[in-house]
Structure 1
Amino acid sequence: MGDTGQIADPWMPPKTPQALPLGKPNIYPLGERHGVSVSLPTWDSVIGLSRKEDWVLDHLECSYPRFYINKPVRDLSAAVLQRAIASESNTRCLVFASADAAHKCLAALRASTTSAEDEDLALLESTRFFMPPESARDATACHWANFSAVLFPFSLWKKAMAFWRDTGSGLSTRHAEFCLGELDYLDCDSADPALRSPAPLKRCHRRTPQTLASVQTAAAGMPKLKSILAKLATSDQPSEPVVHPDDVFLYPTGMNAIFSLSECLCSITPDSTVVAFGWLYPETIEVLRGGAWKKCLSYKYGTEKELDQLENVLQSGKQIEALFCELPSNILLSSPDLRRIRALADKFGFIVACDDTVAGFVNLDAIACVDVMVSSLTKTFSGASNVTGGRSVFSPTIIDIRTLTSPSLVVNPGSPYRNTIRAALSSKYEETYFPLDILALIDNCKNVVWRVRQCNENTLPLVDLLSSHRSIATVHHPSTAPTSSLYQSLQRKNGGYGNVLSIIFHRPASAEHFYNILDVCKGSSFGTNFTLVIPYVQLANYWKREKVPKYGVPQHIIRMSVGLEDSDQLVATVARALKEVEEFESQNTA
């Protein structure tokens, strides 16, 4: 994981960026499997995906796994349905590594079912596929073939996908491929006797299949990955304690980390209140509002004025249990006053949870200001756009009984609530991060420090170019934001400002034209090794697009994640697109 010099690897994008055709995976090398971003080369194609229009969906070879069921997962689901209820064409299913996640999905669907749908309730059930002892003998990796499926009528598809999206608990594509290969060796159990079935085949134990051997070997990578993350997370300040690998808690996706953390925190104190501070990722808000919190207080602007308002609320006697924020925020790239938030947390006794995905530990040294740092490993940490992952790193600094950290979180050993807190946390944790995904992350992150710093350097010339163009009203970036001093106060010694920026054109039509003709990869996600652009609201907030402009997020805002291509080529590519915008505007003067 060296930080000097470029390491020659096949994932390096071409020096000159280039857009890919509709539906192709945004991934290098081209043709690699397990892509987590799909090419959406035109503004209309982004809207078409948001609206689930066939002309877009029919071209998709993959998409972001929390929003789309990719082919390996579809294949496993189809095999489950064929085995369970081959004659029922109206039934769909979703697959989960965790039986608990499947039960929660089933409960959510049952709770949401209206009286008009009662006739479909017979189709609503879960099943658990598991390796029987006679086939699992001598193969310790066999338990990774175990998974759960939730069967439901097609009328509940939208509600089921909302659970899949917001919890991030579905099977990954690598995990689904493995389970599909083992399916014939799995027994099936269910509360519905009609869905129970023995495994069609029994395994021969003369030799361990290569697939099982690979998973078994990869399973040893978890400690290594946690050690890498712990080293990255440790503060530069010698007075701060070293982050231990046991302070790192891994999840299959970044959203699953946020979902699991929210569930753990709100279980500590029933009927508790959580604060969402600043402009947070939409699904984070959905998780907080849809969880067991009694109330979610939202301060969407994330300004000093709103911190004053929060402080007044706390001084009035209102108790909150946790505050969630982002540093910097995804799309506006503004930074909260994390030191002041820490001071309020110390004074009024609440947990600070921060998502640092946009900039990350290579750039920021903020662990001492929070109780838990959450991040998506799918983004810059991986960079290769071929694996999902998330992690929570819990600050080893203990402030009070609510400052949690230890095997995955460490709880203050002197707290009278120590056993209660540990029991609440341990009862909810399952190790569901598939070993082959861990192996992919370890391989991808080898030169994360070099990649982050190179992307930092590539971004600044683009910020300058875009900021100086007359067609553009605003460029959001931590280096130029009004909150830049707050960001700088938490930068590492050699940290930069990150590779994500957002662009607001004066004219919405110019933004659309710029996106359509810009010759770079376009689609969901960010933090990839290649430059990736998306009209953010049209994808992330499409169905609420009329409501978000009042928060400084206009419908035509464009997010750009800058990659590792040649800097001069990147600048030239963007400059050409801006030149075409000038010509477009001259021909379309009102």
Structure 2
Amino acid sequence: MAAVLSPPASTKMPALIPLGASVPALTAHAISVSLPTWEDNIGYEEGDQRVVGKMETGYPRFFIHRSIQKLAKLCLAKFGKPDELCILLPSPKVAGEGRDFLSSQNPPIQSRIVEFVICPSSISIIDTSNKQALGGVDCIELQILLFDKSNWSFGKAFWQHSGDGICSRLAERGLAFLGELPAGSENNNNNKQQSPIQTPTLERPPSKAPSTRNRHYSRRADSIPSTPITPSTPSTSKLINDDAPVEPVKEEALTSDLTTYLEERYGRNLPLFNAPLAKQALKRRIAGGLLPSDEGYGTVDDVARGAGSGSGKKAVTEEEVYLYPCGMSAIWHAFDIARTARRRKGEKEGKSVCYGFPYTDTLKILQKWGPGCHFLGAGGTEDIPALERLLEDSKNNDIPILSLFCEFPSNPLLRSPDLVKIRQLADKYGFVIVVDETIGNFINVEVVEFADIVVSSLTKIFSGDANVMGGSLILNPNSPIFEDLKAAQTEIYEDNYYPEDAVYMERNSRDYRGRIKRVNDNAYDVTDYLFKRSLSDTSSPSEGKVIKRVYYPRFQTPETYAQAQRLPPTGKGGFGGLFSITFTSESASKAFYNTIGCAKGPSLGTSFTLASPYTILAHYLELDWAASHGVERGLVRISVGQEDEQILKNWFETAVKAAEDAGRNENGQ
């Protein structure tokens, strides 16, 4: 598949982002936070005021955005009791699920739900007369789940695991309707009572490409700073290219091909009242199709998902794609679909299987909802016999396994499960296969032909800009249980993806194919260098080396990765942009992390390189357990971005030297 490449990114080194500041810098809805040193990450996990006191933001499911906190405080003042706290949820259904989660604890936790309808008031700081500027939103309906403050950890667990809490942009809209500024704006002397939704439209610099039919779609890579600086939200008062009145797109104009696209008329961001069109564009993109707005449109072939050439299988269409507020929400609801489908058939639910060491919340969901799960931590071919025994025992006990969840490849060890064998077992035993393709991404791999449900975090490389959350779920139309899953999804699905987030996600994702190629190239070169400096490379002397192992699909389970790898690959190898490394000592890990010049914080798949001491940040309270599954305390995870190769070379050479110096000092050399 041919790919459209932009010129390389600027070679200018980025300034260090201060502790606690948003990543990207100066971004009101950033999904990461700067934790520049190893000690900062430990301080964050231990609640050290030196660190947490400086936290402007954080990963949204773990650190509740300050605007959401502010809105929750106002809700508590209006509806709460002195001993209560609350979480804010987007619909009665989600609130009911939160209440059920609390009541399922031992002992049961009492809670209550209050519906709060917020409409623009006479004291609003926005222009309530301009409904087009508000994206057609007249009122916001919040569900407030209140419970005793002693049970905050359980309320927060539902927020974190389900991913279904309200988003920060919705909170800002609610604050605006109440006549309040977003959190943090009060201290900005330059903010003169402006609406939080009336900020500059363009988060990325406009394209320098010559004027063409698709002039608004293109984005040059050299317009991407290494750590982008972006304002908070799209302008809803001036989202169009001229002063002509704007009419919403009518339903009949939303054709499946989206041949009439609004980008040239409205600028880079669609107007909020056309969020349904943005959502349809997202579904088409996730299903594998190109749009007139996409970089490479007309020169790059569509990626037909689920329908290989001559296979006779149905291709995935936007009708099988569903959007969610974030990737974890998609995972939570995939589990709910499997449970609902089994319930609809009047059968016993059965436990699920978590196959391979997963991102932490996936395992927590399978453990905390339903009858529990079996955990097979290696997740490689070596675990297939254990999986077969589980399936046979469950069948004999008349409580068959419900579902199997796996990642392709896994985070953070980049191991790939044997999807061919798992598919054979699913066909025999009737369980639901759910594959998280976030790390692989469907430009590099095709997992839908093996799975019944495919989930992904759009927050990552699909967006790239680290300023908006999103998740997707695909029902495989060729699955032997498709009709059962479709019926269950029809019964339970509701669209809680906030329109303004959808508008941002649609804009961000137009050039994701080109970004993936550049990221593939960069990650291949970086990991090649690191492998040669590791103890795993026996072709060179081991003396002075402190890198133990490089975890990357090229080096980890390459045979099973090849089962779903798209060929020819996009860029070098087609192995994605994520890898992890371990060191011979924690002092070497610290030195490497503290020295590397890239942005540092949670998340991955960003257009800029992002490092994290993953195990410290994700498993600090269960380090021994993580280590027992091969996830060492000193592991550093790197998400490679689009920087110029010389920048990356300088960063990694300098960091490796610091790690090797630390190793020599530790050995008294």
- TM-score of the pair, normalised by structure 2: 0.75
Contact 1:17 1:570 in 2 (8 A): no
Q: Distance in 2 between matches of 1:14 and 1:151?
A: 50
Deviation at 1:372, TM superposition (A): 1.0
Contact 1:144 1:434 in 2 (8 A): no
Q: Indicate which of 100, 110, 115 corresponds to 1:128.
A: 115
1:314 aligns to 2:314 (yes or no): no
Q: How does 1:160-309 map to 2 (within 5 A)?
A: 160-183=155-178, 214-231=271-288, 234-235=305-306, 237-238=308-309, 239=311, 240-269=313-342, 270-292=348-370, 294-309=371-386
1:353 aligns to 2:426 (yes or no): no
Deviation at 1:33, TM superposition (A): 2.0
Q: Distance in 2 between matches of 1:352 and 1:327?
A: 12
- Tell me the equivalent position of 1:108: 101
Deviation at 1:581, TM superposition (A): 2.0
- Tell me the equivalent position of 1:336: 417
Letter in 1 for 2:563: S
Q: Distance in 2 between matches of 1:311 and 1:424?
A: 27
- Tell me the equivalent position of 2:490: 426
Q: Distance in 2 between matches of 1:236 and 1:441?
A: 26
Cα gap change, 1:354/1:423 in structure 2, threshold over 3 Å: closer, same or farther?
closer
Cα gap change, 1:424/1:446 in structure 2, threshold over 3 Å: closer, same or farther?
closer
Deviation at 1:114, TM superposition (A): 5.0
Cα gap change, 1:252/1:7 in structure 2, threshold over 3 Å: closer, same or farther?
farther
- Tell me the equivalent position of 2:464: 383
- Tell me the equivalent position of 1:474: 549
Deviation at 1:3, TM superposition (A): 4.0
Letter in 2 for 1:297: H
- Tell me the equivalent position of 2:189: none
Q: How does 1:403-442 map to 2 (within 5 A)?
A: 403-404=481-482, 411=483, 424-442=488-506
Q: Distance in 2 between matches of 1:299 and 1:144?
A: 47
| Structure 1: runs of 5+ lacking an equivalent | 186-208, 405-410, 412-417
Cα gap change, 1:125/1:211 in structure 2, threshold over 3 Å: closer, same or farther?
farther
Q: Distance in 2 between matches of 1:233 and 1:19?
A: 42
Letter in 1 for 2:373: C
Letter in 2 for 1:548: A
- Tell me the equivalent position of 2:6: 6
- TM-score of the pair, normalised by structure 1: 0.85
Q: Distance in 2 between matches of 1:331 and 1:537?
A: 9
Letter in 2 for 1:515: Y
- Tell me the equivalent position of 1:203: none
- Tell me the equivalent position of 2:40: 45
Contact 1:535 1:556 in 2 (8 A): yes
Cα gap change, 1:233/1:164 in structure 2, threshold over 3 Å: closer, same or farther?
farther
Contact 1:376 1:391 in 2 (8 A): yes
Letter in 1 for 2:560: L
Q: Distance in 2 between matches of 1:442 and 1:127?
A: 33
Cα gap change, 1:154/1:445 in structure 2, threshold over 3 Å: closer, same or farther?
same
Secondary structure of the corresponding residue to residue 280 of structure 1: coil
Contact 2:353 2:404 in 1 (8 A): yes
| Structure 2: runs of 5+ lacking an equivalent | 122-127, 181-235, 240-247, 249-270, 289-302, 343-347, 534-544
Q: Distance in 2 between matches of 1:138 and 1:561?
A: 41
Secondary structure of the corresponding residue to residue 94 of structure 1: strand
Cα gap change, 1:295/1:45 in structure 2, threshold over 3 Å: closer, same or farther?
same
Q: Distance in 2 between matches of 1:236 and 1:498?
A: 22
Cα gap change, 1:161/1:49 in structure 2, threshold over 3 Å: closer, same or farther?
same
Deviation at 1:423, TM superposition (A): 5.3
1:363 aligns to 2:356 (yes or no): no
Contact 1:456 1:498 in 2 (8 A): yes
1:570 aligns to 2:648 (yes or no): yes
Deviation at 1:559, TM superposition (A): 0.5
1:32-87: CA deviations, max 9, x gaps?
A: 320000000011111122222222111111111000111221121122123324xx
Q: Indicate which of 73, 90, 93 corresponds to 1:97.
A: 90
Structure with higher helix content: 1
What count of residue pairs does the alignment treat as equivalent? 534
1:153-206: CA deviations, max 9, x gaps?
A: 322221111110000001111111122223589xxxxxxxxxxxxxxxxxxxxx
Deviation at 1:436, TM superposition (A): 0.7
Contact 1:236 1:365 in 2 (8 A): no
- Tell me the equivalent position of 1:190: none
Q: Distance in 2 between matches of 1:15 and 1:450?
A: 21
Q: Indicate which of 602, 619, 631 corresponds to 1:524.
A: 602
Secondary structure of the corresponding residue to residue 546 of structure 1: helix
Deviation at 1:227, TM superposition (A): 0.8
- Tell me the equivalent position of 2:67: 72
Letter in 1 for 2:356: G
1:102-152: CA deviations, max 9, x gaps?
A: 22223333444759x9xxx6xx42211236899999999447611211123
Q: Distance in 2 between matches of 1:363 and 1:531?
A: 19
Cα RMSD for the two superposed structures: 2.8
Q: Distance in 1 between matches of 2:364 and 2:97?
A: 16
1:500 aligns to 2:578 (yes or no): yes
Deviation at 1:566, TM superposition (A): 0.6
Q: Distance in 2 between matches of 1:295 and 1:584?
A: 44
Q: Distance in 1 between matches of 2:609 and 2:43?
A: 22
Cα gap change, 1:15/1:328 in structure 2, threshold over 3 Å: closer, same or farther?
farther
1:3-32: CA deviations, max 9, x gaps?
A: 402289xxx7765355411011111xx323
Q: Distance in 2 between matches of 1:485 and 1:166?
A: 32
Q: Distance in 2 between matches of 1:75 and 1:133?
A: 17
Secondary structure of the corresponding residue to residue 102 of structure 2: helix
Deviation at 1:528, TM superposition (A): 0.5
Contact 1:263 1:291 in 2 (8 A): no
